Amino acid sequence: MAGEGAWPAMDRYRILPHTADGKFQAYGRTLEEAFANAALATASLMWDWEKIAPRVRHFVHVKGIDRAQLLVKFLSEIVYLLETKRFLLGRVQGLRIRSEFASLALEALFEGEELSAAHEIYGGVKAVTYNDLKIEECGGFTVQVVVDM
Amino acid sequence: MDLVKISDNVWEIPKQGEMRVPALIYSSARLLEAIRRDQTLAQARNVACLPGIVRRSYVMPDAHQGYGFPIGGVAAFDAEDGIISPGGVGYDINCGVRLLRTDYRESDVTAKRKELLAAIFEEVPAGVGKGGITKLNRTVLKEILVRGAEWAVESGYGRVEDLERTEEGGRMPEAAVDGISERALERGIPQLGTLGAGNHFLEFQKVLEIYDEAAARAFGIDAAGQVTVMIHCGSRGLGHQVATDYIEAMENAFGVAGLPDRELVNAPFKSPEGQRYFRSMSAAVNYAFANRQMIAHWVRDVFARVLGSAKGMDQVYDVCHNVAKVEEHPDGGRSRRLVVHRKGATRSFGAGRPEVPGRYRAVGQPVLIPGSMGTASFLLVGTQEAEGLSFGSTAHGAGRVMSRHEALRRFRGEKIRDDLAKRGIELKATSWKGVAEEAAEAYKDVDEVVRVSNEVGLGRLVAKLVPIGVMKG
């Protein structure tokens, strides 16, 4: 299952050089796994998700007109939950993507902790962008995302 | 990409392919080296293809790659048949800068600079996830979105005269809340009156050098050694959400087919989506004005407490760096209403423009260009030539040249703090990793940026300000 087990972070995603913002590629055997790893990559730009315990849960449900919009809206949930619920993502569980009429729907369970003085937040993602966004299938899936920081 | 050199500091991408107008780059050969390394020029060319673009797609000397539009890009579209694009404004709507002057000299604050910085750090919430001190409800937030800094002043944050020294008087009249999403409100509530993180900072500075005494005097800057305070922040999560919401809304309404970059998504300015974005963007602009108004008030409070008085702590000016506005500009012998997008660019109006406050109208608008952490910032004055050169716009800062990731690999926040301390600059921050990401070496040379602005006439140099104490979110 996506996000579970002792996958080293470097196999899940790679942070790429970008002049002003944050850019990464995330990988997965399935699209769902790549999306879940993209969520952890996004978190890694702000805090160390590997140090976050699964104490609090948030159910996430988003829709998109295509895969790109679905991914942008899914990753935007991390920023939204940080800013409004002080939630730090540590794990993504049960991520599912399905077609729903003309659009795509995604649901997943986020597990993590509430922000406290014990956590260092070293970066702020303002927004998830479409700039240079790629979703590629070649054996497995690779997604590439640039976030505004 | 083929660039034609027009003069030492002016370069052109001639009209080709789908371009409706040429792109013009204001840059020295040295700054151009960095600009050419990323996607800035390709992005300027893409902007030149958008419907209703007038004159040129302009690139400022501090430009770097953005998403869709370059950062340091200026583009104007006809208000009748042109477009408006959230990507032409950026995610941090009305990210901007406010400058306060003081009657204090460097010698007045040297002994107390640690105490001063600690007290400011205590008073102004900063960093990711730090809430504001004001408990806000939706009704009050909506009032702030409509009334901007006016609300703040009426609520006891600052002085009435601050308003006329703020771009737009601290309130964009076009603002409305009908298109502000529930999420934007939710993100806006805990963050009002907070500095944020990233490149945002608050610093007290001293005047190092004055280049234009008459303009400096008009702006309240009298001598080298005078202490000033600079506040750099924006509309926080509320503005970011407005941008995100309208990129999605415009994608859903107009589709993305044919766009070289989805972040270039746009709507006809006169369309319901275009108008709703403009009203909502204006509301986010007002939120940022209120935000800086509150922070300025707390800074004055701290100075009064630590140094005995906030007398003479007048606002010099407050400028937007990310905004779209409807402005009248001359075009072919007539005046034309244009939607001017400034993304990482500062309005730089010269003497006589009605938008420049009365007290500065004979001189020109103050232009505030912050440097990177620990380096100089500059006070400039807008020019009349800039109107012809760039719709009255100039640079907005140093502009990054190194990725955050690379900066993190190369620098350590604690070391930067120690190095600054040796140079007499105090630094306090919420995260040392965040400090390393903002290392001065990761940015372009701001001195070179303002030199080009001055030489070309986009904005003329008035004074150089260097930090004494820096607070980083």
Residue B470 identity (one-letter amino acid): V
- Residue pair B471/B126 in contact by the 8 Å Cβ criterion: yes
pLDDT of the residue at A1: 43
Which parts of B154-260 are beta strand (E)?
201-210, 226-233
Classify residue A7: in a domain, yes or no: no
Give the Cβ contact number of residue A130 at 10 Å.
24
What token pair was written down for B416? 């930067």
Q: Is residue A62 part of a domain?
A: yes
- A103 inside domain: yes
How far is residue B459's CA from residue B60's CA, in Å, rounded to a whole number?
11
Q: Given the residues B200, B329, B396, B405, select the one marked as catalytic.
A: B396
Report in angstroms the alpha-carbon separations of B21 from A127, B53, B59, B224, B284: 30, 7, 13, 44, 30
Contacts 24+ apart (CB under 8 A), B207-212: B207/B463, B207/B464, B207/B465, B208/B376, B208/B463, B208/B464, B208/B465, B208/B466, B209/B463, B209/B464, B210/B462, B210/B463, B211/B460, B211/B461, B211/B462, B211/B463, B211/B464, B212/B381, B212/B460, B212/B461, B212/B462, B212/B463
Chain B residues 272-311 with a CB less than 8 Å from chain A: none
ipTM reported for the complex, 2 dp: 0.88
Q: Determine whether the interchain pair A20/B66 forms a contact, defined as Cβ–Cβ distance below 8 Å.
A: yes
Query: Least CB-CB distance to A123: which of B252, B400, B434?
Result: B434
Is the confidence at residue A2, as pLDDT, over 60?
A: no
Pinpoint the alpha helices (H) of B272-391.
272-307, 385-390
The whole-angstrom distance between B234's CA and the closest CA on chain A is 11
Structure tokens at B379: 């006070």
Chain B residues within an 8 Å CB radius of A123: 128, 197-198, 404, 431, 433-434, 437
Sheet with A87-100: strands ordered across: A56-64, A103-114, A87-100
Domain membership flag for residue A69: yes
Chain A residues in contact with B187 by the CB 8 A cut-off are: 80, 83-84
Interface of B with A in 107-166 (CB under 8 A): 127-129
| Predicted TM-score of the model (pTM) | 0.94
CATH number at residue A36: 3.55.10.10
Tokens encoding B312: 């003479």
**Chain A, nearest residue to B444 by Cα:** A19
A72 closest CA partner among A109, A39, A49: A39
Per-10-residue mean pLDDT, chain B, length 473: 93 96 97 91 96 96 92 97 96 97 95 93 77 76 98 96 98 98 94 84 96 98 97 95 96 88 94 97 98 96 95 97 96 92 98 96 97 91 97 91 85 93 91 88 90 98 96 87
A2 assigned to some structural domain: no
CB < 8 Å from A in window 36-95 of B:
38, 64-68, 71, 90-92
List pLDDT tens digits, range A23-74.
999 999 999 999 999 999 999 999 999 999 999 999 999 999 999 999 999 9
Are the beta carbons of B295 and B231 closer than 8 angstroms?
A: yes
Angstrom distance (rounded) from CA A125 to CA B241: 12
Burial class (CB in 10 A: 0-12, 13-18, 19+), B211: middle
Q: Name the domain count of chain A.
A: 1
Sole residue written with tokens 């792109």: B23
B188 vs A: CB within 8 A: no
| Residue A79 domain-assigned (yes or no) | yes
CA distance A49 to A9: 10
Residue A65 maps to a domain: yes
For residue A19, the model assigns a pLDDT of 73
Residue type, A12: R
The CB-based long-range contact list for B8-13 (8 Å cut-off, 24+ gap) reads B8/B455, B9/B61, B9/B452, B9/B455, B9/B456, B10/B456, B13/B41, B13/B44, B13/B45, B13/B48
Active site residue B297: no
Look at residue A56 and tell me if it is in a domain.
yes
Which residues, 6 or more positions from B297, have their beta carbon under 8 angstroms from its beta carbon?
Answer: B152, B156, B157, B158
Q: How big is the A-B interface in CB pairs under 8 Å?
A: 116
Determine the residue type at B81: D
Q: Considering CB atoms only, which of A19, A80, A121 is closest to B129?
A: A121
**At residue A5, does pLDDT exceed 60?**
no
Chain A residue with Cα closest to B433:
A122
User: Quick one: what percent of chain A has pLDDT higher than 90?
Assistant: 77
pLDDT the model gives residue B404: 82
Give per-residue pLDDT as tens, A89-109: 999 999 999 998 889 999 999
